[in-house]
């Protein structure tokens, strides 16, 4: 197993090299205020058999989990996905399913995952950029508040395979820390034959990092540590970092470093935020309201290349009870688009059947990418700066099972909002040490596209995390109307017309009666001699 730990701290006097102590077999970090990423890479021999048997059925597998609590995505870890568990998968052999994938996902993450087989549980996203090597052909999503099951699986199945008791103990401790992570990535591809697990913490659960990182046993893999800060990049397409690097147990002293690299994901100022809401009453046609400060979108990002072309987008991840009407949103009607401050629907995939009730949908839901309008210079004077730019996205509710109250609550994840900008001609977006691909939405753009993501503003929407701290929540709970149950169970459970079964029976009866009525009318026409009258008319004309 190879291990890499990266700290990203604030520069300009916020860090003192004396906070680091390097010895022959360890590196100690003291009271460091920083974001932290830990990445571990496993070979097949270090994985349980049930896991690598599934991986052999995959050409690539990318798993992204993001907390439903808000967090700071500091560069070079500036990319985001919607809260929950995202699985992106491409089979090793086209047309041959990884039948063991869903059972393993339920075992590793949550037995309640609505995942049976990829062909019926996953959706097929539209791939507009075939040049992205990590764009997967199938996609799955489900809300998952905790990674407790993953932690248990690692501790029981993977840690015992890594070596001696000390290594096992360290592995268990590292696995436990996943419970406080803001995001976790798991990546596999059939070319490298390696499984990589990455965790990201925007800050220490208790504010500052104080820990000792020890070298691994001989031939057990390296432990690389970087304590870095962002520096001013020379080119707009690049990010630059500087600080200290060390391989624990090999380097005798910290190695100063400064390097730059092309990056797809770039930061925006803290004032570049957005918020969403579903104004009540939601009814059968909920409307997502997206609010953005005008000062955040008066133009393309100032750090984008001068000659680049930029457009503002939002990417929605909708559960099966909600869907967007692709015919409505794909319109070119300027009045409709301007009334919602939309430019165009760029992509949509998943459960988009307009008539299907929720209980017959097999797949988890749908995704859609919308290009958003921005204020024109003439409509963005000083007086308007105090008002947020409002965007509305009309959605629709599927018929849901009845409830005793006549209402149900559904959970909707916050979308992500970002600028997509073209890079300078000739820019090579190679893989950098911190690159993050395989998130679903980036594959809808060209290979040299640069992304600038806005930060969710969850003011007033607070929940308690696993550490007992109050944090903003990026999940909307909306109350929607459904059929009200009568007393005694489903539709009262008594009487022909109670509940869903009654509605289904009534629908069948109405359809049958309508069909019989049409047949009766046709028979009446025949009995009155409609055909004969036509023949008599022909004879009269001849006479």
pLDDT tens per residue across all 543 residues of the chain: 889 999 999 876 678 889 999 999 999 999 999 999 999 998 888 889 999 899 998 989 999 999 999 999 999 999 999 999 999 999 888 777 778 999 999 999 999 999 999 989 999 987 655 544 456 889 999 999 999 999 999 999 988 887 666 677 888 888 999 999 999 999 998 888 889 999 999 998 888 999 999 887 776 678 999 999 999 988 888 899 999 999 998 999 999 999 999 899 998 998 899 999 999 888 889 999 999 999 889 888 888 888 789 999 999 999 999 999 999 999 999 999 999 999 999 999 999 888 889 998 989 999 999 999 999 766 655 445 568 999 999 999 999 999 999 999 999 999 999 999 987 766 667 678 898 888 889 888 887 889 999 999 988 776 666 556 677 889 999 999 988 887 655 444 434 344 456 666 777 888 888 888 888 888 888 877 654 444 444 444 444
Q: Which two tokens stand for residue 425?
A: 């001609």
DSSP 484: B
Cis peptide before 512 (omega within 30 of 0): no
Answer yes or no: are the C-beta atoms of 323 and 352 closer than 8 Å. yes
**Residue 485 phi, psi (nearest 5):** -70, 145
Answer yes or no: are the C-beta atoms of 136 and 89 closer than 8 Å. yes
Q: Is 21 helix (H, G, I), strand (E, B) or coil?
A: strand
Answer yes or no: are the C-beta atoms of 59 and 190 closer than 8 Å. yes
Q: Which two tokens stand for residue 284?
A: 């059968």
What does the alpha-carbon distance between residue 270 and residue 97 come to, in Å, rounded to a whole number? 44
Q: Which residues contact 233 (CB under 8 A, 6 or more apart)?
A: 239, 240, 260
**Domain residue spans of the chain:** 1-33+208-262, 273-481
How buried is 94 (Cβ within 10 angstroms: 0-12 exposed, 13-18 middle, 19+ buried)? exposed
Q: Is 250 helix (H, G, I), strand (E, B) or coil?
A: coil
């Amino acid at each position: 197993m190879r291990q890499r730990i990266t700290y990203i701290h604030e520069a300009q006097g916020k860090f003192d090299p004396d906070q680091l102590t390097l010895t022959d077999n360890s590196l100690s970090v003291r009271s460091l205020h920083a974001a932290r990423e830990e990445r571990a890479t496993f070979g097949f021999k270090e994985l349980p058999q049930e896991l690598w048997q599934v991986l052999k059925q995959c050409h690539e597998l990318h798993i992204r989990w993001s907390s439903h609590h808000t967090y700071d995505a500091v560069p070079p870890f500036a990319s985001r996905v919607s809260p929950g568990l995202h699985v992106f998968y491409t089979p090793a052999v086209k047309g041959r399913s990884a039948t063991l994938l869903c059972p393993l996902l339920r075992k590793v993450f949550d037995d309640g995952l609505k995942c049976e087989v990829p062909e019926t549980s996953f959706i097929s996203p539209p791939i507009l950029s075939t040049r992205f090597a990590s764009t997967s052909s199938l996609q799955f999503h489900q809300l998952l508040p905790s990674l407790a099951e993953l932690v248990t699986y690692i501790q029981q199945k993977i840690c015992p395979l890594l070596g001696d008791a000390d290594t096992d103990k360290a592995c268990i401790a590292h696995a436990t820390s996943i419970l406080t992570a803001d995001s976790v990535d798991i990546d596999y591809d059939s070319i490298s034959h390696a499984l990589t697990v990455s965790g990201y913490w925007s800050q220490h659960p208790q504010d500052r990092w104080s820990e000792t990182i020890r070298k691994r046993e001989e031939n057990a893999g390296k432990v690389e540590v970087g304590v870095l800060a962002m520096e001013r990049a020379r080119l707009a397409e690049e990010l630059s970092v500087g600080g200290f690097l060390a391989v624990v147990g090999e380097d005798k002293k910290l190695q100063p470093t400064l390097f730059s690299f092309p990056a797809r994901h770039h930061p925006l100022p803290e004032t570049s935020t957005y918020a969403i809401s579903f104004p009540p009453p939601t009814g059968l046609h909920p409307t997502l309201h997206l609010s953005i400060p005008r000062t955040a979108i008066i133009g393309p990002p100032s750090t984008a290349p001068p000659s680049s072309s930029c457009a503002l987008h939002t990417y929605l991840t909708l559960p099966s009870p909600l869907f967007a009407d692709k015919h409505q949103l794909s319109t070119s009607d300027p009045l409709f688009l301007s009334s919602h401050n939309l430019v165009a629907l760029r992509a949509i995939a998943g459960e988009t059947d307009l008539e299907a009730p929720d209980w017959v949908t097999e797949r988890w839901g749908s995704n859609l990418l919308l290009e958003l309008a921005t204020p024109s210079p003439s409509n963005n004077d000083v007086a308007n700066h105090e008002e947020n730019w409002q965007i509305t996205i009309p959605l629709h509710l599927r018929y849901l099972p009845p409830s005793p109250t006549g209402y149900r609550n559904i959970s909707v994840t916050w979308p992500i909002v970002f600028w997509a900008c073209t890079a300078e001609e000739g820019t090579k977006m190679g893989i950098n040490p911190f690159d993050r691909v395989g998130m679903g939405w980036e594959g809808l753009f060209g290979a040299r596209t640069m992304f600038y993501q806005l930060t969710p503003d969850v003011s007033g929407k607070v929940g308690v995390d696993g550490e007992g701290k109050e944090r903003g929540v990026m999940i909307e709970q909306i109350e929607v109307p459904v059929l009200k149950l009568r007393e005694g169970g489903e539709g009262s459970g008594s009487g022909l017309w109670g509940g869903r079964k009654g509605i289904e029976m009534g629908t069948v009866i109405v359809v049958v009666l309508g069909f019989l009525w049409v047949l009766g009318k046709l028979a009446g026409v025949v009995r009155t001699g409609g055909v004969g009258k036509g023949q008599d008319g022909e004879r009269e004309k001849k006479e």
